[in-house]
Chain A
Amino acid sequence: MGNASHFALFDLTPDFRLDLEGLAARYRERVRRVHPDRFAGASEREQRLALEESAQLNEAYQTLRSPSRRARYLLALQGEEMPQETTVQDPAFLMQQMELREELQELQEGADLGGLAAFKRRLGQAQEQLNEGFAACWADPLRRDEAERLARRMQFLDKLSAEVRQLEERLDD
């Protein structure tokens, strides 16, 4: 395995569009072969290798499954890894970020579960739109900036989804 790309581990050509079912089937097929449970009676060295290989396979699978992580990964494969947090360069989206955060805050204060469900749906739709946008431009080196911007927005919405889940949990109390 070594430095094979995540896509190569699954015999896939790097692309943003991905058949998740197909990926899952390939994952299952491969993990069966490298999982440490297959080496329960083997030498320590083999067990350690199995541990490392399956950890790598799991990491690759989790990265490719998530659209926003997949997007960042594709960009990293193409050029340099994206620098971490630089939302300052996206003033248009910054407004939207603040609005979304405020809305979430209000939902929390109002303990509004119904409103939260509607918010989640809108969030899902926004994520879909970003996915489409990214799919259209990532392969074009001239549109690199745009692709990076979209990837950052996807990451933000991911974080927001996580906060929504945390809020759901708190409201369950």
Chain B
Amino acid sequence: MTAGLLVTLLFGSALVAGFAGALTGLGGGVVLIPIMVLLFGIDLRYAVGASLIAVIATSSGAAAAFIKEGYTNVRVGVLLEVATVLGAIAGAVIAASVSKDLIAVVFSLALFWSAYTTLRPLKPLPPDTHPDRVSQYFRLDSEYPTKSPDGTPTMTAYRVHAVPGALAIMLGAGVLSALVGIGSGIVKVFAMDRLMRLPFKVSTTTSNFMIGVTAAASAGVYLHRGQIEPAIAAPIAVGALGGSLIGARVLPRVKTLWLRRLFAVVVICAGVELLRRVLQGGV
């Protein structure tokens, strides 16, 4: 394939993937890697590097809108980032000596879990108002904007729990993110919602805030290893960024149920195809 055609096609597919990722809440990375590997025959190592760059772009591009709404808990984000960035560096280092097939298998499993959570989104748990010693030591309890019953905007306080457990999961999320080139937002949201018992909107926005930082940690290592190929990473990053920004604009006005179902099917097919290739002699 000529350079001009490849760059144009990569940009176009990333635009669509970023758009669909924003509408379904799955993020772009999950479909970008199958597109690069399965449709364009790009080596998985380049695909992982390019996808990480797209993950940084979409996370940073969306952050302003999220933070203005006042949901992000910066202390929780920074504290958990200690675990995610250490995990990300470890994951990027491990990736050098792990076979591509193993990475493809781990990625397929991440795809299946993503599809599952898309079809069965987490149901927010009621708040847990018991104080927690570790969380109080780190002053993590905070408040977020809500509407009172009569419709006027107010701030509602919430308490944070299970910090050590969440740190352990975040370490794993960092390794996963670096190894297979995704934001692993679903793992982060899972830990913050189920374990730490943050309000759901605080979980999703704080997760987005952390995703870019986590990906930046491993992207640095990948850059040195030559896995960030500009002719692949550049069109993928701007395409995904553009698509996700358009997606975020359209989101409040569309019903996403059927789109989520369609997306889940695509993601499952991609995972199955990757596994099939591994079994048939490698990706």
A joins B in a complex:
no
